[in-house]
Structure formats: structure tokens, C-alpha cells
Structure 1
Amino acid sequence: MKLNESQRSASRGFFEFVFFRHVRRSERRLTVDFCPTDLIYVIWLFFVVAAWNWNVWLIPVRWAFPYQTSENIHLWLLADYTCDLIYIIDILVFQPRLQFVRGGDIVCNKKDMREHYMTTERFKMDIISLFPLEVFYYFTGVNSLLRFPRLLKVRSFLCFVHNLCPVAVLVILMLFLFLYVRVIRTSMYLLYSLHINACLFYWGSDYEGLGSTKWVYNGKGNAYIRCYYFAVKTLITIGGLPDPTTVFEICFQLINYFVGVFAFSIMIGQMRDVVGAATAGENYYRACMDSTVKYMTSYNIPREVQNRIKTWYDYTWKSQGMLDEQELLIQLPTKMRLDIAVDVNYAIVSKVALFQGCDRQMVFDMLTRLKSVVYLPGDFVCKKGEIGREMYIIKQGEVQVVGGPDLQTVFVTIRAGSVFGEISLLAGGGGNRRTANVKAHGFANLFILDKKDLAEILVHYPESEKLLRKKAK
């Protein structure tokens, strides 16, 4: 389905809501308004989508199958008008209070939100969806096909699926739920295609006469289940069906086969894309691993080194879900990178004694320059006498300061939340050398801050620079 301009505009603004929503919370007006990713709005969309699904699934069933009778017609009408009431509440209460982006600003003004909604194509479709064709019940009786405008509320279903994933980021697991939503959505398209075909088959059987030929439904057993079974065998081209005998049956079956092949190929393509998206990251990891192994093999790298590199790939992927965090974040604007860095790393860095008392903004600037690196058990992070060009903050794991003739004597163990290597960066003069040997004890995930990056930051914070140099002495 192609998106029109209003949908594309809403999609662009959608991500701005996710990142800047917390900025607007303090500025909320007394009038109630909703962000598209607010949990309460997504919950409301669930009820709207439930009402839409009632119509989209049961309108064809009630038209084709004899399930709507004079004895239960009042129950069907009660459910119909309950769904209509949900539609009306959505149009009058929720949609006119939905925030939107205009010129980069999130608009929360009640009048502006109402006027914006009334100018959108969605408003027109919502109004048409409530067109009261039920007045023709007086002439035709209660015919569910007269409720077909209710299906035009499909935008609510698309918005619900679109908005569900960012809420899932905050509630469950982002990647897996996102993929599950795509799988469920694709499966629903297939099930609905079979549902419509089952209704048409029963209508065709009733038109030809139930049980009049071997091809039509014979009227025995559960009508819907047996017609659905026919639809599955036809649309998925399983075969094994009785041969059609009349012209109507032959034409119906030919159309079924053509539609089945077309629909099934689309579903296969959709599922391929879903599986491809689910395994894209792992495929990238495997490709990097294979390229590295091929390179090491061609240059006859020692087997021990190869095994350590393979271990590094495996642990880094399992612990982080990616090989390079910077590669992911570099595509984002600076402000968004800072927001993510603060949420992910500030709790660790703020506890480091070296940075306590420093300008808070200086710490924020430093967060965006940190690089996460994994060291394997026994790997030397730095050696005594080396030129110091980085400082290290332990994010996870432990490192040990070692010495002695064989570098096996442990002087001290440094744990998560500690910093080392700062003396070489902060002491006066250039070309400062390391004063100790430090190696990883087990797997260690460290933040690395380059000397050049630190110098560029401290230029703007002279007071923090004095404090850091004083602590490093």
C-alpha cells in the first residue's frame, strides 16, 4: 500500500515524538492531548482496531453464512452499534487531541490540533466510514453489506501497528516484538484472504444449490470450517478437490487458482522479508567473521591468535548484539546521540570519582566520544613504558595491575566503575608513558577516551580541566 503525503509527513514526525517527547512533558497544557506513542493512546487504538476487526471479519460472514437469524439479530445489532460508538468517540475525543509536528515543533494547542485533524484525509475517511447506509434496512432487511463503509477505518489499524513498536521498546523487547508484530500482521493478511474466499465459496454453493454437485458445499457439518478448509486447499494450491462441472464452478475455480498463486507468492515474499530482517544483523556478523577468518588463513596467522579473534567476535556479538556501537549511532544527529549516550552510559560515568565535581555538560560531551571495546581474558590493555594516548573506564568486568618478572604478580584488581590511564593524559607535557601493566581478568568491556578528544572537550571547560589535572597528580 503506497503512503500519501499526509502519511509520509506523519511518519517523519513520528520519530521526532519518540526522541523529544520528554521535553514537552513539562510544558503540557491543562487540556488533555495525546502523543501518538503515549501508552493510553495506543491502548485506545486497540479498542478502535477491535471494533474495525469486528466489521472487517464478520460483515462477509453474516452476508454469506446463515448465522444471522431473527432470534439473535438484536445481539448482532448491539455489537454493531457498540463498534459505531467507539468510532464516534475516536472522532470526537481522541483524534482532535492528537499532537502533530509543524515546522519542527510539536503542536499541543487544542484548536490547532482539531483544525489539523479536520484537514487530513484521515478525517474524511473517518466521516465516510460512519455513513448511515443502515437506513436501507427498511427496504432490504438487516443486510451486513450495508455496513461496508466501516471498513474505511483501516487507518486506525495501520497506525496501531505502526505505533505499537516504539511503545514495545519501553515495555518489552524492541527487536523481537517488532518482528513478531510483522509476522502476525503478514499472517493476518493470509488468514483474511482465506476468510473472504470461504465466504465466497459458501455464497457460490448456495447459489448453485447446497449439495447439488460434488464440488459445492454439501450442507453437512460446520459450514464455516468446511468452507475454510476448501479455501485453504484452493488458495494455497494444495489440490485434491473435486472437479467443477458447471460453467459457474469452472470460472469460480479458475479465479481462485489465479488469485491463490498471486496471493501465495506475495505472502512468501513478505515472510522472506520478515525473516531477512530478523537475521540481517547476524548475517552481517557472520560475514565479518568469515572475512576475518579468510584473511587470517591467507596470511597464515597462528592458530592461537585466530581462536582468540574468533572468541572476541563471538563474545562481542553475544554481549552487545553488534560489533561496533559507533557504526549504529553515527547516523543520528548529535543531540540524539547525546540522549542515547546519557541514558545508556551516564549512570556508570557519573559514579567515577575522577569526574565528580566536574561540569555536568563536560561529562555529557565526553559521553559522545567514548568508544566501547571488549578485551578477552588475559589481554593486555596497556603495558608499562608505552606512550599513553587513551584513558579507560571499566564498564563491565575487571582488570588487574600486574608485575614481576613474568607479569603474573597481581598488585591490585580494578572493578567496574573505575578509571585508569588518566595520568598519561592529564599530566603536563607530552609523550607521557604508562606507569603500569594492566590486563583483563576475564572478559572486560571498557570505555576508551582518546587524548585528542579529551583535549578538545577540556578547551571549553577550563575549571574542569584544572580539577582533573589536580586529581591526576
Structure 2
Amino acid sequence: MRQRTDLYKRKLAEGDISSPEASPHTAKPAAVSSTQDSGAKVKEEHYYGMLCCKFQELPLREYLKEIRLPRSIDSYTDQLYLLWLLIVTVAYNWNCWLIPLRLVFPYQTPDNTCYWLVIDIVCDIIYLCDMLLIQPRLQFIRGGDIIVDTDELRRHYRSTTKFQYTSFFEFNHHLESTMDKAYIYRVIRTTGYLLFTLHINACIYYWASTYEGIATTKWVYNGEGNKYLRCYYWAVRSLITIGGLPEPQTSFEIIFQLLNFFMGVFVFSILIGQMRDVIGAATANQNHFRVSMDHTIGYMNTYSIPESVQNRVRIWYEYTWDSQRLLDESDLLENLPTTMQLALAIDTNFSIINKGCDTQMIYDMLLRLKSTLYLPGDFVCKKGEIGKEMYIIKQGEVQVLGGSDGAQVLVTLKAGAVFGEIR
């Protein structure tokens, strides 16, 4: 209303004494600019008869400020950085797979060269953005402090090996650290390395065939069928040493095949070793569980433990594995610093003991908690026993028995209840 009042005052001062309310059919739009606040954004108002429409325009400089990159990036918590690494990894794999293919096989022709060049330019732009805009902004730790200064970040980036471009491997590291089942990705990655090795071997074989002459001998590629598929099939049979390949005829072919066999033995021994380590690490807890269970069963059989007791022991093992996938969770925390153990304990158990006690007392208790499982029907403690532990129920229920026969349920304790302490 104040703006409209100013408009009418200006019209009166200019001698325009026509009616302030113009006809909807004859009124012309008038633009009014607000000058009351010098720091305000540019605004435009258009009046069409009785209707008032207000539009706000965001200056280009303000828009660029909204989308600009942060001064520093935390590579461990920034999910957008992980997404960017994925984009860089795609570009990296494009060059690794397609450049050797285009150099050797006749897939790049004058008709489609422009398309290949466009994708190459896009990949180069991604690399430049990564090296000039993203990587120099990554935070690092020096002397226990997190460095976020822009100049320090740039100097640190140029002085490290990351300046030589290692975003592909960094993406693998970050992805493994965020996945629940990282071993699945490790298996996929190792398989990708194997396929890439066969891909390079297929390209080298086609180059050797063109060097010797297509279809000049039985050993080289005969020029029939799909070039890449036939050469890839040869690479698989050659590197894995399946056999059944044509015998090399010339000295060049013999030397080439010998080197190929040596490389196949070396590469596959490494890849098989990596695959064994990945699978072994993925099943380490399960193997430890099975070994412990087998030893316990063997011990019980040696001393002729009753079958009922053996069944309860087996049930305890199976329930423990199904509930937490390890026998003793404290083994995972013993190598961590005390502060890290406290942080994990707070997130895991703070809610069940936060009953108004002193904070420091709660922290001391959290560091001493140990997980223990009891099966239905087990006695946790009995009347008259010397109490050495205090129990906090995290899951399940505990019945307090009493009465003349000791079978009457006096009370049922649920999650969060405490018993066994000295009062």
C-alpha cells in the first residue's frame, strides 16, 4: 500500500489528475522500482488494472554465490564428494577401456570421430575440474588439527601424490568404508580387474595379428566374425591357459605367446590371491564361530556331557551368531582408543542406563559393559550368591522367582531394568 501511495503522489506532482483506478481494459502497465533500501534486491512490480503482480529477480552475482563450491571439503562425510568421485571414476574407466580399443581396432572412423571427440572433451573437463577445483579443497589433518585454509589446502595437494591423479582409487576406498558388505564390492572390483586385463590382452592380440597380417597364418586372427569378440575369446583361452589354441608359426608369434603365458600366470596368481583374501576376510567371523563351536562340541563329547546340555550349548552358539554375527563384540573394540570406545558405547548403550546418574559415572560404566546372552530357562543369579556383577537388560525379559517352592513369578523385568547391584 505504501508503494501504491507513492505512485499516486508522484502522479499528482507531475500533474496527472486522472482517476487513480484506471479501467481494466485501458490501463497500461507501469513499472515501479523501490529505492528505499540500497542493499535490497532488484524488484519489479507490474500493475494490470486491479491486479498487482510482484516478481523478484535474483542478480547473477547472488546466484553464483548460492552455487559456489565450499572453501573446504570433508572427504569422509561429504556425500556430494563421493558422487563426484563416481563421475570421475566413470570418466577414468571410459578412457582406460575405450582408448586402447580405438587405437587398435578400427572402430573409430571419419564418420563417428566427432562423437568420440565430444566424449573425450567431456572426460578431460571432468579431470580438469577435479584437479583444479575439487582436490585442492580437500581437508587434511596436520598435528592433530583439521586444516581448512584455502592456501594451505592447495599447497598440500600439490606436494602429495594425489596431484598425480588417484581419484579412481580414492573412490574405491571411500565406497568400501561406507558399504555394509564391502566384500561384495571387492569381489566385483577384482572381477573388473580381471576383465580389464583380458581386454588389454585382446587388443594386443589384434595388434599382433595386424602386424603379422590378418589371416596370414593359423595363429593370427582370421578376419571372420566380430573382431573384438573373437580376440577376447582368444585372450581368455590364452591367459587362463585352457589350451586348444593354434600353434604359433613365426618367431614373433612364439615370443608373443611365451610372454602371454608368463603374464597370464603372473596376473592370475595375483588376482586369485586377492580373491582368496577378500573371501577369507568376509567369512573370517563365521569361520571363527564354526571352529569355536566344533571345539566346544568335541570337548563335550570327550567328557560325555549329557545331550540336553549339549543342545543348550548349540542353541546358545546359534542364537549368538544370529543376533550379533560374532561371539564377543568386545574383541572388536579392544584395539580402539578409549575415546573411541566411549563414543561407540554411548551410541549403543547410553539410552538404557541414562537414569539421572552423574554423567562421568555413566561414561565409566559404559566403558566396562560387556555383552552377555542367556537362553530361556537360564538362571542369571540366585539368592545367597556373592554378587560380583550388575546386570542391565538390553533386550528380552528377566523373571524374578520366589515363594516357598521358588517357582512363583514375583516380578518381570524388561529392557532398561537393573538388577544384581548392591543396595
Same fold per TM (> 0.5)? yes
Aligned-residue offset at 1:31? 4.6
Q: How does 1:50-89 map to 2 (within 5 A)?
A: 50-89=90-129
Amino acid at match of 1:400: Q
1:240 aligns with 2:244: yes
Query: In the aligned structure 2, how far is the partner of 1:302 from the partner of 1:404?
Result: 30
Give the match for residue 139 of structure 2. 99
| 8 A Cα contact 1:42 1:163, kept in partner | yes
Matched letter for residue 381 of structure 1: V
Which of 291, 294, 299 aligns to 2:295? It is 291
User: 2:84 is matched with which residue?
Assistant: 44
With over 3 angstroms needed to count, the CA separation of the structure-2 counterparts of 1:201 and 1:31, relative to structure 1, is closer
Measured against aligned partners, the alpha-carbon deviations of 1:286-344 in whole angstroms (never above 9, x if no partner) come to 22222222332333332222221222122112211111122221111100001111111
Counterpart mapping for 1:111-150 below 5 A? 111-123=151-163, 125=164
Equivalent position of 1:380 in the other structure: 379
Q: Give the TM-score normalised by structure 1.
A: 0.72
- Equivalent residue for 2:395? 396
Q: How much does 1:418 deviate?
A: 1.9
Contact 2:71 2:148 in 1 (8 A): no
Select which of 69, 74, 79 maps to 1:35: 74
Letter in 2 for 1:242: P
CA distance in 1 between counterparts of 2:346 and 2:188 reads: 34
The alpha-carbon deviation at position 395 of structure 1 amounts to 0.7
Give secondary structure in 2 for the equivalent of 1:316.
Answer: helix
1:191 to 190, 195, 214: 195
**Is the 2:186–2:278 contact (alpha carbons within 8 Å) kept by the matching residues of 1?**
yes
Between the aligned partners of 2:370 and 2:340, the Cα distance in structure 1 is 17
Q: Distance in 1 between matches of 2:384 and 2:333?
A: 34
Contact 2:89–2:171 under 8 Å retained in 1: yes
Q: Who is 1:471 aligned against?
A: none
C-alpha deviations, 1:204-224, integer Å up to 9, x for none?
A: 111122222222212222111
Q: Of 161, 173, 194, which residue of structure 1 is paired with 2:172?
A: 161
TM-aligned CA deviation for residue 235 of structure 1: 0.4
Correspondence 1:257-268 to 2 at 5 A: 257-268=261-272
Deviation sequence 1:346-365 (CA, Å, 0-9, x none)? 23333xxxx2x222332222
Measured against aligned partners, the alpha-carbon deviations of 1:250-296 in whole angstroms (never above 9, x if no partner) come to: 22222111211222222221111111111111111122222222332
Partner SS for 2:326: coil
Work out which structure has the larger RCO, using CA pairs closer than 8 Å and 6 or more positions apart in sequence.
1
Shift of 1:403: 2.4
Counterpart contact for 1:31–1:110, Cα < 8 Å: no
The partner residue of 1:339 within 343, 348, 354 is 343
Aligned equivalent of 1:202, options 200, 206, 225: 206
Within 1, Cα distance between the matches of 2:259 and 2:203? Answer: 15
Q: Which letter maps to 1:307?
A: N
Secondary structure in 2 aligned to 1:400? strand
Kept after mapping to 1: 8 A contact 2:187/2:275: yes
Contact 1:39-1:167 at 8 Å conserved across structures: no
Task: Using the aligned pairs only, state the percent identity.
Answer: 59
Partner of 1:230: 234
* Cα 1:348/1:222, change in 2 over 3 Å: farther
Q: Which residue of structure 1 lines up, in the alignment, with residue 318 of structure 2?
A: 314
- For 1:53 and 1:372, how far apart are their aligned partners in 2? 46
Letter of the structure 2 residue corresponding to residue 113 of structure 1 = L
CA distance in 1, matches of 2:353, 2:215: 77
* Number of residue equivalences: 354
Do 1:402 and 1:411's aligned partners in 2 also have CA atoms closer than 8 Å? Answer: yes
Q: Which amino acid aligns with 2:390?
A: M
* Deviation of 1:236 (Å): 0.7
Q: Secondary structure at the match of 1:378?
A: coil
For 1:183 and 1:298, the matched residues in 2 are separated by: 41
Residue type at the aligned position of 2:398 = V
CA contact (8 A) 1:99 1:108 kept: yes
Distance 2:414 2:313 in 1: 24
- Segments of 5+ residues of structure 2 without an aligned counterpart are 1-68
Residue identity opposite 1:245 in structure 2? Q
Is the CA contact 1:42–1:160 (under 8 Å) kept in the aligned structure 2? yes
Corresponding residue SS for 1:373 = coil
Let me know the Cα RMSD of the aligned residues. Answer: 1.7
1:43 Cα offset (Å): 1.0
In structure 2, what is the Cα distance between the partners aligned to 1:187 and 1:244?
A: 29
Q: Could you give the per-residue CA deviations for residues 392-423 of structure 1, whole angstroms, max 9, x where no partner exists?
A: 1111111111224543322222222222223x
**Aligned-pair distance for 1:160?**
0.8
Matches of 2:351 and 2:332 in 1, distance apart? 21
**1:48·1:87 contact (CA, 8 Å) conserved in 2?**
yes
Matched with 1:272 is 276
| SS of residue matched to 2:372 | strand
> Which position in structure 2 is the counterpart of 1:430?
none
Q: Secondary structure at the match of 2:416?
A: coil
By how many angstroms is 1:180 displaced? 1.3
Amino acid of the residue matched to residue 230 of structure 2? R
The Cα offsets for residues 91-126 of structure 1, whole Å up to 9 and x where unpaired, read as: 111111101111122212222111111211322x2x
> What corresponds to 1:457 in structure 2?
none
**Rg (Cα) greater in structure:** 2
Structure with the largest fraction of helix: 1
- Note the residue ranges of structure 1 that are not aligned, 5 or more in a row: 1-29, 126-152, 428-473
1:371 match: secondary structure: coil
Distance 1:257 1:201 in 2: 13
Letter in 1 for 2:420: G
Aligned to 2:37: none
